[in-house]
């Protein structure tokens, strides 16, 4: 009787759940159908650029997806750049108002947006900026404007770059949970936090030089836009000369302080409308949708742009991580498509699985035998991210790109000490000498460590050979630049790890030149799952997603980030070619 009752209850529950899903589905369809027939840009409009969500290089939106945007606002760098280019030629757009704060983008992405805004200014249209608070990255972007304003009681952060690395050796000893580490490379400090409580001289050196190189690029760009000498900008940073609005104005970082209503009056005067008239704003989100109807590259010949973004894991891949499935499929499609004459491979990755990196590298080798293949490095192209890109015919990097990190490591969790403390004893039985190779409940044996170390050395040697082949260097030359050390794009260009400094547009232009194309269109890969597909796939995981949200709210964002880092370690299978640390530069 209980069985029948439970069976009927489960059927009823399934029917109710299905009914709810269908109601939601048609509700969203109705909402979409009730909207306007598109974004209308009125005369004398101002494009308002405000970034409310993290920026990815590419989000691959499907306009036919009824659930598009269901997961919240998301915007691709490619969409943003395209919208700014279209606005430059749009006679209804008279200027741009930058009102962003807490920009969630990498340094290379920020610089590409900045470059697009510089190009916009060539049209003679104005760009102004206003914020209640400028973080350093926000100010770096805003400094491109003709005029930069701050709330009179707001603040501006301008003090130079810094980062923080956490160390866990004491935590491991106190908890009895530790990470067994096998590595190659004196600079391979991804695992250093598990081995020490202090930063090594090698790690401190590379971080210092990396931050200095990126800061120098920022200072030079701000200097050109604000007409302040680089040495004066560094003095301002050293003395916190922008810490109060009046100081920031006096130092030249700002043009003045205005409340937002006063700022809007300024915009009205620039457009030539009365103070009592309403400003015609068009948001960047809406204008992105509008700009999609305008193709800037329309040739029948195509250049494929393949986006590889996120950490590298074994599997299909998606918007948030690189797997061999989607990337290999995209490369094959680009090669087989007769209309595609060249390929640009865009990388934004700190690395990950060495195995997957080599699988993608191999497919890159096959692709470039058929068509010109140019690589563009975004925010990060380090370790495995560099590995997958080194196979291209030519490599472009932004000056602020973090790249290199040629090295490998392996981390294996061990809870032997904790198990002993709580009274757990594990006994193993096997048929052969090495059939029981490793248990988290037992100390790592020397023989097992030797086997893993041999694998690490073999992968490192292979990595060196891939780079040597791609960069026309000797293995010894690569090894001198390797050891897991990271470089800025500027330094990578100087030491031969990349060919040119430039953004994605520069890489596309180079690919067009190599393929002898003067008129061409762009085709983007890969195709990601639609939001509807994601909704159906993740419906069963809603509880866990809500739980994660609650945990973050309870323990705080910083603690939650640390928790996520430990969780990510559990996903690392096999030998890793990964960037040596998680850098939050601020």
Question: What confidence tens digit (pLDDT) does each residue in 334-350 have?
Answer: 999 999 999 999 999 99
Report percent pLDDT > 70 for the chain.
82
pTM of the model: 0.86
Rounded CA-CA distance 286/371 in Å is 37
CA 416 to chain centroid, in Å, comes to 37
Residue 138 — pLDDT band, cuts 50, 70, 90? Answer: very high
- Segment among 16-30, 172-186, 262-276, 436-450 with least mean pLDDT: 16-30
3-state secondary structure of 273: coil
Where in the sequence numbering do the catalytic residues fall?
A: 188, 383
- Asked if the model's pLDDT at residue 9 lies above 80, the reply is no
CA distances from 364 to 493, 500, 554 (A): 21, 19, 45
Higher pLDDT among residues 569 and 407, named by residue: 407
Between CA 31 and CA 33 the distance in angstroms is: 5
Residue partners of 223: CB distance under 8 A and separation at least 6: 229, 230, 233
3-class secondary structure, 311: strand
pLDDT digits (tens, 9 = 90+) for 322-378: 999 999 999 999 999 999 999 999 999 999 999 999 999 999 999 999 999 999 999
Among 27-31, 231-235, 315-319, the least confident range = 27-31
pLDDT band, very low/low/confident/very high, at 179 (cuts 50, 70, 90): confident
Question: For residue 141, which of 164, 171, 118 has the smallest C-alpha distance?
Answer: 118
With bands split at pLDDT 50, 70 and 90, how would you rate the model's confidence at 565? low
User: Distance (Å, rounded) from C-alpha 61 to C-alpha 68?
Assistant: 7
**Higher per-residue pLDDT: 539 or 321:** 321
Residue positions counted in the chain:
586
CA distances from 438 to 329, 409, 413, 434 (A): 35, 17, 11, 9
- CATH 3.90.226.10 positions along the chain are 45-159+240-291, 303-540+572-578
- Those residues whose C-beta lies under 8 Å from the C-beta of residue 57, and which sit 6 or more positions away, are 76, 77, 78, 109, 307, 309, 346, 348, 378
> Who has greater pLDDT, 12 or 389?
389
More confident: 542 or 58:
58
Q: What is the mean pLDDT of the chain?
A: 86
- The domain covering 45-159+240-291 belongs, at the CATH homologous superfamily level, to 2-enoyl-CoA Hydratase; Chain A, domain 1 (3.90.226.10)
How many CA atoms are closer than 13 Å to the CA of 194, on its beta-carbon side? 23
Greatest mean pLDDT among 23-27, 468-472, 540-544: 468-472
Residue 542 has pLDDT above 50, yes or no: no
The pLDDT-based confidence of 15 (bands split at 50, 70, 90) is low
Task: Give the confidence band of 180 by pLDDT, cuts at 50, 70, 90.
Answer: confident
Half-sphere exposure of 326 (CA within 13 A, CB side): 23
pLDDT in tens, 50-91: 998 899 999 986 554 455 555 556 789 999 999 999 999 999
Instruction: Please provide the DSSP assignment of 145-184 as one string.
Output: SSEEEEEEEEEE--S---------HHHHHHHS-EEEEEEE
Residue 7 three-state SS:
helix
Task: Give Cβ neighbours of residue 421 (< 8 Å, ≥ 6 apart).
Answer: 176
3-class SS of residue 54:
coil
- In sequence order, what E strands does 185-265 have? 256-257
Q: Is the peptide bond before 526 cis (omega within 30 degrees of 0)?
A: yes
Res. 541: pLDDT tops 60: no
Q: State yes or no: pLDDT of 19 exceeds 70.
A: no
- What does the pLDDT look like over 406-417, one tens digit per residue? 988 888 888 988
- Answer yes or no: CATH 3.10.580.20 is held by domain 303-540+572-578: no
Q: Which helix (H) or strand (E) holds 381?
A: strand 373-382
Instruction: Determine the Cα–Cα distance for residues 252 and 256; give it in Å rounded to an integer.
Output: 9
- Which of 180-189, 193-202, 566-575 has the highest mean predicted lDDT (pLDDT)? 193-202
DSSP state of 540: G
- Contact predicate 197/167, CB 8 Å: yes
User: In angstroms, how far is the first alpha carbon of the chain from the final one?
Assistant: 64
Which position has the higher pLDDT, 246 or 565?
246
Residue 126 has pLDDT above 80, yes or no: yes
For residue 442, pLDDT beyond 80: yes
């Amino acid at each position: 009787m209980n069985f029948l009752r439970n069976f009927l209850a489960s059927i009823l529950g399934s029917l109710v759940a299905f009914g709810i899903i269908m109601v939601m589905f048609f509700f969203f369809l109705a909402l979409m159908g009730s909207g306007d027939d598109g974004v209308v840009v009125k005369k004398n409009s101002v494009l308002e650029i405000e970034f409310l969500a993290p920026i990815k290089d590419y989000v691959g939106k499907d306009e036919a997806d009824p659930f598009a945007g269901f997961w919240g606002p998301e915007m691709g760098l490619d969409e943003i750049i395209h919208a700014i280019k279209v606005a430059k030629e749009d006679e209804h757009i008279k200027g741009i108002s930058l009102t962003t704060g807490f920009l969630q983008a990498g340094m290379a992405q920020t610089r590409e947006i900045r470059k697009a805004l510089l190009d916009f200014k060539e049209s003679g249209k104005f760009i102004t900026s206003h914020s209640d608070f400028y973080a350093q990255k926000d100010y770096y972007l805003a400094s491109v404007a003709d005029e930069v304003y701050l709330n009179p009681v707001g603040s501006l952060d301008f003090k130079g770059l810094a980062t923080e690395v956490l160390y866990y050796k004491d935590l491991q000893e106190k908890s009895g949970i530790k990470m067994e580490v096998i590595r190659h490379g004196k600079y391979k400090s991804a695992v250093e936090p598990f081995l020490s409580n202090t930063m090594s001289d090698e790690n401190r050196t590379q971080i210092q030089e990396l931050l200095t190189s990126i800061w120098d690029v920022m200072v030079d760009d701000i200097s050109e836009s604000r007409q302040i000498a680089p040495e004066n900008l560094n003095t301002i940073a050293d003395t916190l000369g922008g810490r109060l609005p009046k100081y920031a104005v006096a130092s030249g970082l700002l043009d003045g302080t205005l409340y937002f209503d006063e700022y809007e009056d300024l915009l009205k005067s620039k457009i030539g409308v009365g103070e009592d008239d309403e400003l015609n704003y068009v948001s960047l989100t809406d204008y992105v949708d509008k700009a999609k109807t305008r193709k800037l590259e329309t040739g029948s010949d195509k250049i494929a742009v393949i986006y590889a973004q996120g950490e590298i894991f074994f599997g299909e891949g998606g918007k948030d991580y690189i797997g061999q499935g989607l990337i290999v499929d995209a490369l094959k499609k680009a090669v087989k498509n007769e209309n595609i004459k060249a390929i640009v491979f865009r990388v934004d990755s700190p690395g990950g699985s060495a195995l997957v990196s080599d699988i993608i590298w191999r497919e890159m080798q096959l692709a470039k035998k058929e068509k010109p293949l140019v690589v563009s490095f975004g925010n990060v192209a380090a370790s495995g991210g560099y590995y997958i890109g080194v196979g291209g015919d030519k490599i472009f990097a932004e000056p602020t790109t973090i790249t290199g990190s040629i090295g490998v490591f392996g981390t294996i969790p061990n809870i032997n000490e904790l198990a002993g403390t709580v009274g757990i004893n594990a006994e193993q039985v096997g048929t052969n000498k090495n059939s029981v190779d490793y248990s988290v409940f037992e100390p790592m044996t020397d023989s097992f460590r030797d086997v893993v170390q041999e694998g690490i050395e073999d992968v490192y040697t292979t990595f060196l050979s891939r780079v040597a082949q791609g960069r026309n260097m000797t293995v010894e030359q690569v090894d001198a630049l390797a050891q897991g050390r990271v470089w800025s794009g500027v330094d990578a260009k100087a030491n031969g790890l990349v060919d040119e400094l430039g953004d994605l547009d520069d890489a596309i232009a180079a690919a067009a030149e190599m393929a002898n194309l003067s008129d061409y269109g762009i085709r983007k890969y890969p195709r990601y799952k639609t939001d509807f597909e994601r909704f159906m796939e993740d419906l069963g995981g809603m509880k866990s997603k809500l739980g994660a949200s609650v945990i973050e709210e309870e323990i705080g964002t910083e603690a939650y980030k640390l928790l996520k880092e430990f969780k990510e370690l559990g996903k690392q299978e096999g030998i890793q070619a990964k960037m040596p640390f998680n850098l939050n530069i601020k």
